[in-house]
Structure 1
């Protein structure tokens, strides 16, 4: 069973985390199921960028982003070559190291 190492995030996961992940499940669902409350304003329908993450290790083990995801990623804050929308990034066989960016572009966040 692959693991997701979540790097420390000042609000969502200050200590970082190592969690077991099910192959075939999205990174977003896996984080949410493990009490890491990543934003997902569009309810994981690939219609925003609030669940943007950077895959620091294991990026090549995942399927490539489709055109719709790529279009939304272009609007994400802090975009990097290994950026993905966590609602679309599906866990494969390999472990992942995930960084949740410090900021998100969410015009209506209930948590702030």
Structure 2
């Protein structure tokens, strides 16, 4: 079973996290299931960028992003070559090291 390693994030996961990932779920769903409360203002419908993550290791194991995701990522704060919307990136068979950027383009955090 692949693992997700979440790098420390001051607000969402101060100590970082390590957990077994469910490959039938997106990165976002896996994070939420393991109490890493990443924003997902559009309810994971690929309509915002609040669930933007940077994949530090394991990026090549993910299916490529589609045009809609790429267009949205262009608006994400802190975009990098290994950025993905966590609601769209399905976990594959490799371990992932995930960094959640410090900021999103949201002015107010949604509560879920």
Give structure 1 stretches of 5+ with no counterpart: none
- How well do the aligned residues superpose, as a CA RMSD in angstroms? 0.9
Aligned counterpart, 2:62: 62
Are positions 1:101 and 2:101 aligned together?
yes
Structure 2, unmatched stretches of 5+, are: none
Equivalent residue runs for 1:28-107 within 5 Å: 28-107=28-107
- Are residues 33 and 6 of structure 1, via their aligned partners in 2, closer, same or farther at CA, if it must alter by over 3 Å? same
What residue is the counterpart of 1:18 in the other structure?
18
Q: Is the 8 A contact 2:53 2:100 kept in 1?
A: yes
Q: Displacement of 1:88 after TM fit?
A: 0.3
For 1:48 and 1:110, locate their aligned partners in 2 and report how far apart those are by CA, in whole Å: 12
**Displacement, 1:107?**
3.1
Length-normalised TM-score, structure 2: 0.96
TM normalised by structure 1 equals 0.96
The number of aligned residues is 111
Shift of residue 109, structure 1, vs aligned partner: 1.9
* Secondary structure in structure 1 of the residue aligned to 2:98: strand
